[in-house]
Structure 1
Amino acid sequence: MHGPALSLPASLPAWLLVLLCAVSGAYCLRRVRRSGREARGGAAGEALMGFGMAVMAVPPGIGPWGPGILLAVFCGAALHALWLLRGGVHHAHHLVGSLAMAYMALTMADGHGHGGGLPLVTGALLLYFAGYVLLGGARLVTAGGSVQPTPDKPQVVPTELTRACRLAMGMGMLAMLLSV
């Protein structure tokens, strides 16, 4: 994802990842508006992660951002995730994701991807997100037809769609880590 700018056919996987992450971010942003007060922070963190992943997946040379801006955004997201940890360790995934994105931004700055990262750190993140994706996929398959009511509104948010969004972002993270 961080290699040199390519022609459209060669960069199609990167653009598909951009689209997947942007749609996931938009869905999570919609959840922010529809969620109760307690769930807003988590949904906002997921929206930021989805949009940040979309920006990071854009082929180089397109857009005004660079590794420094991405690093600042994801360090801010990591601070937000630390703040969310006050509510319980179930928000630790946001912290891991934010730190992984900051790590990838650092590898973009140093080595422009493709071997620019530390193998031990990259391997640990790959194992974490592979496990996250496998667990998320298993939960999605066994979810059934459950819905998640929100306290503020009588509408319900399908749990499967939220899980599918998280699964898509986990797979996007795996794809980007494979390019480090």
Structure 2
Amino acid sequence: MHGPVSPAWLLVALCAATGAYCLLRMRSGVEEQRRAAGGEALMGFGMAAMAVPAAVFAPPRWVWPLYAAVFGLAALRALWSARRSAHHLHHLLGSTAMVYMAVLMAAAPAPHHHTGGSGPAWLTGALLLYFTGYVLLTGARLVPVTVRGGPGAVRWGDRPELSRVCRLSMGIGMLAMLLTM
């Protein structure tokens, strides 16, 4: 991504930490949470890798089609899983946004391939609008969360407020990445 290096590293750290927490959530006793956490871990680590400043590492051109393929498969999986849970529609949009950004990176001229190209303004705007709404809604849902049975009743990896913080972090990261497109 382009822009100042310090914010890019903060985005890398945020997304990598979110991906790591989601990996830990995959150990949950709740099957649906394990499935969602796997997709969110992939998204967190993918966003972290994509956000590494170009001044530090400019990946070869073949990386972007690979990103598009990986997140295209993740989008298909999310589409299939959306039959069971509407939450997977968010995973579908997130994976689609990653495919979109990877395609723009692949299509950018070689000297500027890490700064991305400009895609259709309506699509970038629609994704920005969705993720802005998602961040605001998820942030608002953080406030009233209560855990029944006291703090010892729920394992820390299964706490709903931590899952929401994870999703909020990735939504903010996605907004930051889309703004650089």
CA deviation after TM superposition for structure 1 residue 33, in Å: 1.1
Alignment gaps of 5+ in structure 2:
none
Q: Describe the SS at the equivalent of 2:118.
A: coil
Q: Which amino acid aligns with 1:59?
A: P
Unaligned runs of 5+ in 1: none
Q: Structure 1 residue 115: deviation in Å?
A: 4.8
Amino acid at match of 1:131: G
Query: 1:57 corresponds to which letter in structure 2?
Result: A
Tell me if structure 1 keeps the 8 A contact 2:16–2:45. Answer: yes
Identify the match of residue 17 of structure 1 among 6, 11, 19.
11
Partner of 1:125: 127
Deviation of 1:72 (Å): 1.4
Cα 1:35–1:173 shift into 2, 3 Å: farther
Change in Cα spacing, 1:171 to 1:154, as seen in structure 2 (3 Å) is: closer
What does residue range 23-172 of structure 1 map to in structure 2 within 5 Å? 23-60=17-54, 61-62=57-58, 66-111=63-108, 112=113, 113=115, 115-143=117-145, 145-146=146-147, 155=155, 157-172=158-173
Asked if 1 retains the 8 angstrom alpha-carbon contact of 2:142 and 2:161, the reply is yes
- After superposition, what is the alpha-carbon deviation per residue over 1:63-103, rounded to whole angstroms, capped at 9, x for unaligned? 56721221111112112212211312221000000000000
Normalised TM-score (structure 2): 0.84
**Preserved contact between residue 41 and residue 84 of structure 1 (Cα < 8 Å):** no
Structure 1 segments of 4 or more deviating over 4 A? Answer: 62-65
Q: Following the alignment from structure 1 to structure 2, what is the Cα–Cα distance between the partners of residues 58 and 76?
A: 23
Which deviations, in whole Å up to 9, do the C-alpha atoms of 1:142-174 show, x marking residues without a partner? 22x3269xxxx9735222111111100000000
Q: Distance in 2 between matches of 1:135 and 1:46?
A: 18
Identity over aligned pairs, percent: 57
Contact between 1:14 and 1:59, CA under 8 Å: does it hold in 2? yes
Counterpart Cα distance in 1 of 2:174 and 2:81 = 21
When the two chains are superposed, the root-mean-square deviation of aligned CA atoms in Å is: 2.2
Tell me the amino acid that sits aligned with residue 124 of structure 1: A
Q: Distance in 2 between matches of 1:52 and 1:83?
A: 21
Matches of 2:117 and 2:144, distance apart in 1: 37
**TM-score (structure 1 length as normaliser):** 0.85
Report the CA distance between 1:126 and its aligned residue.
Answer: 0.2
